[in-house]
A and B are shown apart, each in its own frame.
Chain A
Amino acid sequence: MTKGVLGNDPFQRGAAPRTGEAKDAAADPKAAKKSAKGAKKSAGKAKGAKASAPKSGPQAKAPKGGKGAEAKQAAAAPKTPAARVHKFEARADGRGNGNGKPAQDAHAPGDEGSPLREPSTPEPASEPRPQVLAEEVHGSRPQERKVDRALTEALASDAAEAAAKTAVDGLFEGRRGPDRDIERVLATELVAELAESAVRQVLDDGDGGAPERELATAVATQVAEATAGVAVDEVLDRHATSPEERALPTAEDRDARDLEDAEDEATEGVWTADAWRRDPKDVPPPADSTEEVWTADAWRRDPEGIAVSGDPEEDDDFVSGVERVEENGVHISVSIIEGAAPTDVDPEVELPDESHDELPPSRRPLSLVGDAGERPLEEELERGEAAFDRPEESAPPAGFAGRAVGMLSLARDIAGQALASEGLGRAVGAMHGLMEAMRTSLGTGGGSRLDDYGKDAGLVENLQPVLDFLYEQYWRVSVEGIDQVPRGASILVANHSGALPYDGLVMSQALLRERPDLLEARWLVEDQVFHAPMLGTLFNRLGAVRASPENALRLLDEHRPLVVFPEGYQGASKPFAERYRLKRFGRGGFVKLALRTGAPIVPVAIVGAEETSPLLGRLPGGFLGFPSLPITAPGPLPAKWTIRFGEPLTMEGLPPEAADDLGEVQRLTERTRESIQSMLQALLRERRSVFAG
């Protein structure tokens, strides 16, 4: 069997969950989510398995097939909590004894329920990585050196663990609590971790002679003793924090996650579980002859670790494996490695680094929370708020590596908080704006910064996040030829579209964004909309002006761009099939205006608004003062908008008296109409998809 069978193969990835309880879970979305959560939690253990893997070394010649099958078979096992717990314990024991108890034991069904349920305890996530790196760095050296090094390391780690145990035990003396034992184990591990990384640093610097062996041992002991206090604090600290609080999603992550459906969630979880099994084999770098030396020692620790020659896919999996490990809240140990043993990371080996650089550090722990799928959406805001409490929980510890740890985790926390608060602030701002809009439309808004036309600057400010979202992300408005809009007074004539007239609002937003040199544009709406209860009130507060010659003249006198929709209410109530066929252009009122004021006419074509709120039918709406009530989509649809501005028609050479010449007015009206219609047809030809543009 090839490694593909071990879970890399997408087909296998899908197949894996079908063993054991996950099979049933697949049918029930809720259960699937649950199992996803479980699987993600187990990712923490995956790291455990991985941790021992590198020590086992690339066992290129090991019986791949058989082991692979066994691993696969076992894949379903860790989904029961007991098994998981047991696995963790087994691993902890192995490390505590320092001689590498076979990790295979972990797969045996757990018979005792240990209280250890913390998936995010600070396990040495990336501990093996540096070693792998070291492997590669020294891969070209003589085998003896390898052996020497291995021996030295083993000795040093033994010494380190012993020292760590003593130190931690000493520190735990007098402390009590239900999880004291676990905490002690964890702290010991953490300390040993630190010591070992220090040893490796020493070894990497030197060439592994006999004196170095002693040196390494001494270093390990010293470091272990020095960091014991820090580690204990860290463990206690972490232990006090519940996993949810530790791994909080930012608003963006939440958004991203909302898009995933339950199935995705489930697959991912299962995949993680799978990865857990797979990781031990994924870790080692391409096999070479020297690594057989390792096998002896490593095999003892992890007989299940099977060396697999690396291929690109493998790398990917490893990267995700590492990521996932961190996501379970164990980033502390990662920080330790980063801080204490930076030399371990060889720039040539990009494998682990990539996993770090893929995303900004602050985002990673938050991006895939183990139990995200299980939470109802309503709780998310609450969780987001809890994010503000985080920094207080992780007080930066003092000490050798502790300072670095503290700084890093503090920076991480600050970044996370900033992200969370910015996202949260935006979301809250948008909600606030929408609430305000709702109140305004009901007639209780009570804004106090209105201009003479009724535009409420305060409301527009509050709604700006929503408008920005609609403009940039939802409708993805693209604007063409807006430079043609002349300065000063101008009449922008556009096709009216959609059952609900969003077009005026979007036009004014487009002008505001693309042409800040112009005065604020206003758009005219027909009486039927302007006096519609709620809708009319809201539109008026957002800047719509009732269409009347007096208002238009006044706005043009103020040298504003004026957006008009000469089709009027008819234009907004076109049947869907005729949505881009222009209706009669009123009585040419805008041409008369242009002639009287000398303001140029700019034809504008808007495509996309019709599909945003398609007119599906009409209801008699006389009781509300409408000629008809449009039946449309319940909300605006995410059609892509394109607004094209045509060449302006100047009124030069035409006297204001021409406004009384009906023939002239008719001619200009027709010209404008044709110009818009041809732009519309061109835009429709260019458009390939309604929603993608």
Chain B
Amino acid sequence: MRIAVTGANGDYGKLLLPRLEADPGVESILVLDTKEPPPMSKVEFHRVDLTRYDAEGELTDALTERPVDALFHLAFLFGPILNGPLAHELEVIGTMNVLTAVGRARLPRLVVPSLTATYGARGNNPALLREGSPLFGCPHSRFVNDKVEVEGQVRAFRERHPDTRTLVLRFAPLLGPSLDNPATRLLSHAVVPTLLGFDPLWQAVHEEDAGRALHLALRAEAAGEFNIVGRGVLPLSGLIRQAGAQPLPLPGPLFRGALRALGAVGAGTLPVALLDYMHYSWVADGERAESALGFVPLYHVRDAASALRRSQS
């Protein structure tokens, strides 16, 4: 089995590559990235910059030169970056290039990660969001809305290319010692501001579980979207406590204003959009991943959060 991976140097890539390396069924891994990944015996490196105008042609060449059995499109950001247009180029235009190349090369399998945050934290969410729920995104967050746009592209691609098995893994916030995303940054503070009077339910996936889910997608017989969540839920305050920090409830307007001001100065440590996720719950139902993908989370949210604490100390 020959696997192609984009964005192998990102968090997802770091979780997946060692597993593929250890998988005896995998002959070689074609890494399509701007940077060379850490050396591994099965890795073949092919430099591709997804943000360049000629990325699509390069990808098609690389994929058709030697046929691959699956492509993991992992070249995504894990949090908002200051350079919004670049993020948009990478995520939306990059995905467009990848999808076009995959269509041309007629790959049998495509795996794309996404986030449960794309459902949006809204007051009228049901208690548990199934995969069929509409993706409302987050009105103030370019980052989340880019993800929603990517999901739309992937869905359209899936409809046009039914012979390519397309899996979208919607991850709950990833927590783990080796990760760096808004959730882990939020929880790494000693005191975490929260919204006074609200304590939404949060989910999280331990990095081990996330790597396992990606690996499972390589052989799964199912297609479509899957919510990849850890076991159980925790209120945000509980998550913060589990991670070894203290919640500090602040009145909403004050908090929002402070975050805006910080963001305007450029010292924004927390994305303003995170406020929505501190206000309403966005609990995804991991039942489909369990039954169709065979993914059973090993870690409870508690464990994921306390793993974060262990990594800090």
Q: Are A452 and B128 in contact (CB under 8 A)?
A: yes
Instruction: Enumerate chain A residues within 8 angstroms of B247, measured Cβ to Cβ.
Output: 443-444, 446
The answer to the question of A548 belonging to the interface, with a C-beta cut-off of 8 Å to chain B, is yes
CB distance from B281 to the nearest CB of A (A): 7
Return chain A residues, CB-CB under 8 Å to B8.
Answer: none
Contacts A531-B280, A533-B198; A443 near B237 (Cβ below 8 A): yes
Which of chain B's residues 232-264 have a Cβ closer than 8 Å to chain A? 232-238, 240-242, 247-249
Q: Does A440 contact B (CB under 8 A)?
A: yes
Kindly state whether residue A545 has any CB partner on chain B within 8 Å.
yes
Given contact pairs A452-B283, A551-B126, A554-B128, A441 touches B197 in the complex (Cβ within 8 A): yes
Please judge, given known A-B contacts A452-B128, A554-B128, whether A446 and B196 are in contact too, CB under 8 Å: no
Cβ-defined partner of B238 (8 Å) among A446, A533, A545, A551: A446
Shortest CB distance A562–B (Å): 13
> Which chain A positions have C-beta within 8 A of B126?
546, 548, 550-551, 554
Distance in Å: Cβ of A593 to nearest Cβ of chain B: 14
Q: How far is the CB of B207 from chain A (nearest CB, A)?
A: 20
Complex Cα distance A530/B234, Å? Answer: 18
Q: With A453-B127, A554-B128 known to touch, is A448 a contact of B196 (CB < 8 Å)?
A: no
Interface of chain A residues 89 through 114 with chain B (CB within 8 A): none
A451 surroundings in chain B (CB, below 8 A): 233
A445-B235 CB under 8 A given contacts A533-B196, A537-B197:
yes
Instruction: Assess the A443–B127 pair: CB atoms within 8 A.
Output: no
**Residue of chain B at shortest CB distance from A527:** B123
Check A442–B238 contact: CB distance below 8 A: no
CA–CA, A541 and B199, complex, Å:
10
B237 touches A454 (CB 8 A): no
| Bound-complex Cα distance A181 to B233 (A) | 71
CB distance from A408 to the nearest CB of B (A): 50
For residue A481, CB closer than 8 A to chain B, the reply is: no
Question: Which residues in B have their C-beta under 8 angstroms from that of A550?
Answer: 126-128
Whether a CB of chain A sits under 8 angstroms from the CB of B17 is: no
Do B237 and A551 touch (CB < 8 A)? no
Q: Which residues of A contact B92 (CB under 8 A)?
A: none
Pairwise interchain contact B127-A554, C-beta atoms closer than 8 A: yes
How many B residues face the partner with a CB closer than 8 A? 30
The proximity string for B residues 204-244 relative to A, scoring 1 for CB distances below 8 Å and 0 otherwise, is: 00000000000000000000000000001111111011100
Whether the Cβ atoms of A454 and B197 lie closer than 8 Å is: no
- Chain A, Cβ-Cβ closest to B232: A450
**How distant is the Cα of A537 from the Cα of B235 in the complex, in angstroms?**
10
Chain A residues within an 8 Å CB radius of B83: none
List chain B residues, Cβ under 8 A from A69.
none
Within the complex, the shortest CB–CB distance from A563 to chain B, in Å, comes to 15
Task: Please tell me if B201 contacts chain A, counting CB pairs below 8 Å.
Answer: yes
Is B124's beta carbon under 8 Å from chain A? yes
Q: Is the CB of B242 within 8 A of A551?
A: no
Query: Given that A448-B242, A527-B124 are contacting pairs, would A443 and B199 also be in contact in the complex, using a CB cutoff of 8 Å?
Result: yes
**Chain B residues closer than 8 Å to A551, beta-carbon distance:** 126-127
Other-chain contact of B197, A442, A450, A554 (Cβ < 8 Å): A442
Chain A residues with Cβ below 8 Å from B249 are 442-444
Chain A residues in 8 Å Cβ range of B280? 531
Q: Is the CB of B197 within 8 A of A443?
A: yes
Contact present for B241 and A450 (CB under 8 Å): no
Of all chain A residues, the one with the shortest Cβ separation from B237 is A446
List A residues 60-106 near B (Cβ within 8 Å): none
CA distance A447 to B249 in the complex (A): 15
Shortest CB-to-CB span from B190 to chain A, Å, is 15
The A278-319 residues at the B interface (CB cut-off 8 A) are none
The answer for the CA separation of A546 and B124 in the assembled complex, in Å, is 8
- A534: Cβ under 8 A from any B Cβ: yes
Q: How far is the CA of A441 from the CA of B194 in the complex (A)?
A: 12
Q: Which residues of A contact B248 (CB under 8 A)?
A: 444
Give A448 to B232 CA distance when docked, in angstroms: 9
User: How far, in whole Å, are A453 and B233 apart by their CA atoms in the complex?
Assistant: 9
Q: Contacts of B236 on A, CB cut-off 8 Å?
A: 443
Selected from B194, B196, B234, the residue in CB contact (under 8 A) with A450 is B234
Q: Complex Cα distance A537/B201, Å?
A: 10
- Check A444/B194 contact, CB under 8 A, given A454-B281, A550-B126: yes
Count A-side interface residues using an 8 Å CB cutoff: 28
* A548-B124 contact in complex given A440-B199, A445-B237, C-beta closer than 8 Å: yes
A441 to B248, CA, bound (A): 13
Residue in chain A with minimal CB distance to B285: A452
CA separation between A448 and B241, bound complex, in Å? 9
Q: Min CB distance, B272 to chain A, in Å?
A: 19
CA distance A534 to B197 in the complex (A): 4
What is the CA–CA distance of A48 and B196 in the complex, to the nearest angstrom?
Answer: 64
Q: Nearest Cβ in chain B — how far from A546, in angstroms?
A: 7
| Contact B123 A531, beta carbon cutoff 8 Å | yes
Give the docked Cα–Cα distance between A91 and B226 (Å): 91
* Alpha-carbon gap, A446 to B200, bound state (A): 11
Is B73 an interface residue when CB atoms closer than 8 A count as contact? no
Determine the distance from Cα of A445 to Cα of B234 in the docked complex, in whole angstroms.
Answer: 11
At the interface, yes or no: B170 with Cβ under 8 Å from chain A? Answer: no
Contact flag A446-B128 (CB < 8 Å), given A531-B123, A537-B198: no
Q: When chains A and B are docked, how far (Å) is the Cα of A541 from the Cα of B247?
A: 17
Chain B residues with Cβ below 8 Å from A527 are 123-124
Cβ–Cβ < 8 Å partners of B285 in chain A: 452
Q: Name which residue of chain B comes closest to A553, CB basis.
A: B126
Taking CB atoms and an 8 Å cut-off, the chain A residues in 429-449 that contact chain B are 440-448
Q: A443-B249, A533-B197 are in contact. Are A452 and B233 (CB under 8 A)?
A: yes
**A450 B235 Cβ-Cβ under 8 A:** yes
B115 within 8 A of partner (CB): no
Q: Which of B124, B127, B198 has most A Cβ within 10 Å? A: B127
Asked if B309 CB lies within 8 Å of chain A CBs, one says no
Q: How far is the CB of A290 from chain B (nearest CB, A)?
A: 81
Q: How far is the CA of A550 from the CA of B241 in the complex (A)?
A: 31
**B residues in contact with A445, CB < 8 Å:** 199, 235, 237-238
CB distance from B206 to the nearest CB of A (A): 16
B302 at the interface (CB under 8 A from A): yes
Closest to A452 in B: B128
Complex CA distance for A546 and B129, rounded to whole angstroms = 13
Check B195 for interface membership: any CB of A closer than 8 A. Answer: yes
Task: Report the bound CA distance from A534 to B249 in whole Å.
Answer: 11
Closest to B197 in A: A533
Question: Are B238 and A443 closer than 8 Å at their CB atoms?
Answer: no
Chain B proximity of A28: nearest CB distance (Å): 45
CA distance A453 to B126 in the complex (A): 9
Q: Which of A446, A451, A541, A550 has the largest count of B CB atoms less than 10 A from its CB?
A: A446
Contacts of B302 in A (CB 8 A): 448
| Residues of the A chain whose Cβ atoms lie less than 8 Å from the Cβ of B232 | 450
- Report the separation of the CA atoms of residues A537 and B248 in the bound assembly, to the nearest whole angstrom: 16
Instruction: Please indicate the chain B residues that have their CB under 8 angstroms from the CB of A546 in the complex.
Output: 124, 126-127
Considering only residues 506-552 of chain A, those with a C-beta below 8 Å from chain B are: 527, 530-531, 533-534, 537, 541, 545-546, 548, 550-551
Select one of A443, A452, A456 contacting B198, CB under 8 A: A443
Q: Which residue of A lies closest to B128 (CB)?
A: A452
Q: What residues of chain B lie closer than 8 Å to A441, measured between beta carbons?
A: 197
> How many whole Å from A323's CB to the nearest CB in chain B?
52
Convert A445-488 into 0s and 1s, putting 1 for each residue whose CB lies closer than 8 angstroms to a CB of B: 11110111110100000000000000000000000000000000
Complexed CA–CA distance, A440 and B236 (Å) = 11
Whether A446 lies near B241 (C-beta < 8 A) is: yes
A444 to B201, CA, bound (A): 12
What are 12 pairs between A and B in contact, CB < 8 Å?
A442-B196, A443-B196, A446-B235, A450-B234, A453-B127, A454-B127, A454-B281, A533-B198, A537-B198, A548-B124, A548-B127, A554-B126
- A interface, CB within 8 angstroms of B: 440-448, 450-454, 456, 527, 530-531, 533-534, 537, 541, 545-546, 548, 550-551, 554
A-B contacts besides A441-B197, A448-B241, 8 pairs, CB < 8 Å: A442-B196, A443-B196, A443-B198, A446-B238, A447-B234, A533-B197, A533-B198, A550-B127
What 10 A-B pairs come out closest when comparing CB atoms? A533-B197, A550-B126, A443-B199, A446-B237, A446-B238, A446-B241, A534-B197, A443-B249, A444-B247, A551-B127
